[in-house]
Chains A and B, each alone.
Chain A
Amino acid sequence: MLKQLEEIKSTALQELEDISSIKELKSWPVRYLGKKSELTKILRSLSTLPLNERKNVGAYANKVKVNLENSLDQKEQVLREAELAASAKRKVIDITLPSRPFPTGHLHPITQTLYEICDIFVSMGFQVVEGPEVEWDYYNFEALNIPKEHPARDTMSTSWIDCENESGERPMLLRTHTTSVTARIIETMQPPIRVVEPGKVYRYEASDATHTPMFYQIDGLAVDKGITMADVKGTLYEFARRFFGEDRKVRFRCDYFPFVEPGIEMAIECLVCRGAGCRLCGNSGWIEILGAGMTHPQVLERGGLDPEIYTSFAFGMGIDRLPMLRYGIDDIRLFYSSDIRFLRQF
């Protein structure tokens, strides 16, 4: 009996050894471990054996069974790994084929720029506020020291709303700058104030590569006790450093805006020529980025703030130019043409 078991074992293992695929492996356990296998028959017939033999044969038969089962597992594992390896070799993909494209959406480059700028100022304690685009002459001009017939009005050609008051004047316009929001904030908020005011502005101007009748600006205002021109320089320098990069030179020069005194213009070193002079910067080496200054005492006073108590700075800049400079865009009209071949690049 034991000898028979030994034979079963060696035949089975020999046959197992010769099997070379999972498919062939399927019949092997039926033959050697199945209900009708020799081994099962022996195990079933154990009860017919004498007691002393039964013990020996039983123990050995079980040992053989375990041995065969383990061998099967091992063989199966070996074969599976071999098949995986072979299949991996067979199923190589051409990774240079194009991806399965997910449709993607993009924020408009102007929006992206505005959010980036707002984030910089928010991190310095400024709050984002907005105001109306259709505005009273008062907030756009009068409140900002630009009375009727002031030459500064000539530099901001205005689109007027078709509506007249009793004295035949047109009191409503499309705001020519976001500084109108500054005038409103001075009138409505109590110091300390730190705000930035992004939005659309309008000019009565024909379109060309550097002009559109609508574009974006952001103005800023800080009012508190003890604010100085050193603070406006520092704040704007920090903005320029973060937006244009650490090593970009910044220049502050005297300029004139009716609603500030002293007035400041901030320029950065030209992005193309780095100061050597080129077409982009008109050979000056500098690119004007924004206007700023200490808010004019009359503007504070008109809005109900006492310039003897508070000092204030204000600034304003065009947004469109910034992505133009950053990405080398040479025509501002592209922003509003809504050509998706342009927009999806950002």
Chain B
Amino acid sequence: MKVPLKWLQEYIDITLPATDLANRLTMAGIEVGGIQVVGGNWQNIVVGQIVAINPHPNADRLTLPTIDLGTERHTVVTGAPNIKVGDKVAFAYVGAQLIDGHTGQLSRLKSAKIRGVVSNGMACSEKELGISDSHEGIMLLPSEAPLGAPLADYLGDVIFDLEITPNRPDCLSIIGIARDVAALTGQGLHLPEISYEESASHIGQQISIEIVAPDLCSRYCASLITGVKIAESPKWMQQRLLACGMRPINNIVDVTNYVMLEHGQPLHAFDYNRIGSKEIIVRRAADNETIVTLDGIERILSGDMLVIADKERAVAIAGVMGGANSEVSEETTSILLESANFNPASIHYTGRTLRLPSEACMRFERGIRPELTLPALKRATQLIIRLAGGEAANGLVDEYPGKLDRAPILLSTSQVTRVLGVEFSLDQIVGVLTSLGFACKTSDSKSEVSVTSPYWRSDIHQAVDLIEEVARITGYDKIPDTMLSQPLPKQNPEPIINLKKKVRRSLTSYAFQEVITYSLTSLEMLNRLLPEPHPLEPMPIRVANPMTADQEYLRPNLRANLLTILCANRRYEDGGIRLFELGRVYLPRQQDLPEETEVLCGILSGPRLVKSWHSGGDLLDFFDAKGVMEGLLSQLGVEASFEEGSDESLHPSKQAALVIAGNRLGVIGELHHKVRQAFEVYEPVYLFEIDLTALLPFTTSYKMFQPIPRFPATVRDLALVINTGITHKRVQDIIKGFPLVNQVAIFDVYAGEQVPPDKKSLAYRITFQSTTHTLTDEEVNRVQRQILDKLSSELGATLRG
């Protein structure tokens, strides 16, 4: 909402500098988003009058107007075709700052000789003054412009750009703002006096109103003005409309817009003679009923929308836009002026559905009060008669099916203290509310007041609404800052939040960079994860109104996004890339919100170490991924094992399932080559993934402390030759099963020349240790023999010679 201060000053004396006023309004909830100074650089520009126009001796297209400034006269050279003697213009002295009509840059006016004649100053166009883009002719000022007055005084203004919150439609008006300024500054309001002559013929004989849908139209008022003459509205009105961002049309339409800006009540003017049956019917549209709106576009309506109609047809979409069939035109002589109140939700729905946001819509959908219709209607009728002539029919029509009695609200000082945390006296409270136009009735009680909200306020329903008024007008800075003084509530932290934190911190300690990606993805991306195409099961959850095709489905996994990122980062990063995301995936459930599961997914590829003058380029591989998983699970105190995996996106023989207490809760593996190619990655990629939601129950117990050994350990190395197909884990499990074996580490895996075909050599370092005594060689030898016997009998292992 744009508010020119000169207009505002018509209703309230402004005693503060503009920036201070802006600050007061902002603090009180009416945010001044911008302050525009019109004519801020109009020094040396004054109002002048053309007293003579002589031809230029050397040029047919140029003339030499003489401009009277009251105390002096100047002759200038101009090419403008639109001037005549008696016109008032803006005269710029040499030295004035003007916008160059051709370059658009601000420049200083110099004395110039044009075709042999010196031009001492200049009559300005709107563009040169920065008022509009019009550069066709010289800007003509209203005849009442005071001769010789600085243009900045006459036309200059300060315009506030206000951001009005949805609860304050009353502030979508100059008078509404004036009311808040009055309360904030203590100045009195002076509102326009409304009166006009009425003719003898009663309006009721010339138009009838029927509200068929009272749920959507609580009130419908109208006046009738006959004998009007359509013309341009006066300059001052056009300027105000332009300053507020509205386009002048003609005197009738301009008045409706002007009064809407002034009072906040949208109005609509019908050409009375084009209302066929002289009946106004306020009804729901029929499904698929059509109407051509003022902008010439045919609109298809539905039964949820409200129209203004005569007997035959709709003549307007109520509160949204008028119909072309009843539009005020140059031939119009009689005006039926509508001032009505429509259901906010219905207007919002209609405006949104037809994509017709308008100034009127914006006011109705925020819920203006029906009491506003009459003052606005009378004011507009008065202005139409003043600007377009004609006379008003006797009386107004006023159908008011939605009349509500608003009960006063009881407000006590203790309620105010309870909410604001600071005491206000009843006098202070009543003072603030009265200044805003609330009617306050105090009784014998010194602590309670009965408050009725003024007819323009639609946002006051209960005591807290009044308390906010007290707080915002007094100033939030008058409320102290205190810390909560109540006892601390019990805390029941959600374990998953803690787990997520631990996992994130752990992953960064393994040099993984956290990423956050969009939760929405596309089927195309998800399909890239399938080496052999097949329908996704279950289908991911679709968004009904996707913004873009690549954000249509809620992700059922984190993989696709991570691989996309890997590809993007690979373009400029040739070092190792380790990324993880910890976030939710969304799995559909019948008739319910989706299951949101917390998943950890990581990918790694490229060199293991940062390439430097110290180290070369060993590549990350499966066992790095496994190491991260094991490290993480160990930090979480979870016992896990790895079993053969079956994830279709992973390499069939280079993957493992993570198994915890018999549950498969994750995977690690090398990405299937078809999958990584689909993501345009051309190097091996390793991936790990854990369902953290499922893991959570296994992370909540504590791992018990292991005493630090007091007796020395004995270390033995065993090199075994064994069939290729036997896994390390089987060997390790056997060795670990023996008493005194504290640790088993594999330190070499070899297959090749010195080992028979189909065999491999595994070298183990076994640490023997007792918690009760220092081991003797004999003890260790005995266990080692037993180990070898068992490895030999169960796995066919032999000692390597």
Contacts and interface: CB of A to CB of B under 8 A. Distances in A.
Interface of A: 97-98, 100-108, 110-111, 115, 124-125, 127-130, 132-136, 147-152, 154-155, 159-163, 170, 172, 174, 191-194, 200, 202, 204-206, 213-214, 222, 224-231, 233-235, 237-238, 251-256, 258, 261-264, 282-284, 294, 296-297, 311, 335-341, 343-344
A338 B565 contact: yes
Nearest to B497: A128
Given A125-B488, A149-B345, A134 B481 contact: no
B515 A108 contact: yes
A335 B518 CA distance: 10
Nearest to B362: A151
5 contacts: A151-B365, A233-B480, A233-B481, A254-B472, A258-B167
A210 to B, nearest CB: 15
B576 A227 contact: no
B479 interface: yes
Interface in B577-595: 577-579, 583-584, 586, 593-594
Given A136-B593, A151-B366, A228-B420, A111 B504 contact: yes
A262 B504 contact: no
Contact of B480 (A128, A225, A230): A230
A252 B479 CA distance: 10
Contact of A255 (B29, B488, B492, B579): B29
B517 A105 contact: no
Contacts of B111: none
Contact of B483 (A124, A148, A252): A124
Given A103-B609, A231-B482, A235-B484, 4 more contacts: A194-B484, A234-B482, A294-B419, A340-B573
Contacts of A336: 516-518
Of the candidates A261, A336, A338, the one having the most CB atoms from chain B within 10 angstroms of its own CB is A338
Contacts, number: 265
A162 B422 contact: no
Given A105-B512, A133-B519, A338 B468 contact: no
B464 interface: yes
B547 A335 contact: no
A192 B489 contact: yes
Interface of B: 26-29, 31, 33-34, 165-168, 344-346, 348-349, 352, 362, 365-366, 417-422, 462, 464-465, 467-468, 471-472, 476-477, 479-489, 491-494, 496-497, 501, 504-505, 507-520, 541-547, 551, 554, 565, 568-569, 572-573, 576-579, 583-584, 586, 593-594, 596, 609-610, 612-615
Contact of B481 (A103, A237, A258, A294): A237
B514 A100 contact: no
A341 B468 contact: no
A103 B507 CA distance: 12
Given A108-B515, A254-B468, A229 B486 contact: no
Contacts of A284: 26
A107 B514 contact: yes
A341 B572 contact: yes
Given A147-B345, A256-B168, A125 B489 contact: yes
A202 B486 CA distance: 35
A225 B545 contact: no
B542 to A, nearest CB: 4
Contacts of A263: 29, 468
B218 to A, nearest CB: 16
Given A107-B508, A161-B541, A133 B615 contact: no
B514 A105 contact: yes
Nearest to A170: B544
A160 B543 contact: yes
Of the candidates A125, A135, A262, the one having the most CB atoms from chain B within 10 angstroms of its own CB is A262
B489 A193 contact: yes
B511 to A, nearest CB: 4
A136 B417 CA distance: 36
B578 A335 contact: no
Nearest to A125: B488
B464 A253 contact: no
A225 B568 CA distance: 54
A213 B486 contact: no
A132 B596 contact: yes
B544 A339 contact: no
A121 B496 CA distance: 18
Contact of A338 (B344, B418, B482, B515): B515
Contacts of B614: 100
B497 A130 contact: yes
A127 B492 contact: yes
Contact of A151 (B348, B464, B492): B348
Contact of B547 (A205, A229, A235, A343): A205
A172 B593 contact: yes
Contacts of A100: 612, 614-615
Given A224-B486, A343-B515, A253 B29 contact: yes
Contacts of B166: 150-152, 155, 256, 258
A255 to B, nearest CB: 6
Nearest to A307: B464
Contacts of B542: 161-162
A152 B465 CA distance: 18
B593 A192 contact: no
Nearest to B588: A163
A43 B468 CA distance: 111
A215 to B, nearest CB: 10
B569 A125 contact: no
Contacts of A311: 418-419
A161 B467 CA distance: 39
Contact of A159 (B496, B545, B577, B579): B545
Contact of B516 (A110, A133, A154, A261): A110
A254 B27 contact: yes
Contacts of B491: 125, 127
Given A100-B615, A103-B576, A229-B421, A134 B551 contact: no
A62 B551 CA distance: 95
A117 to B, nearest CB: 13
Contacts of B462: 297
A33 B487 CA distance: 85
A124 B34 CA distance: 37
A172 B352 CA distance: 20
Contacts of B27: 251, 253-254
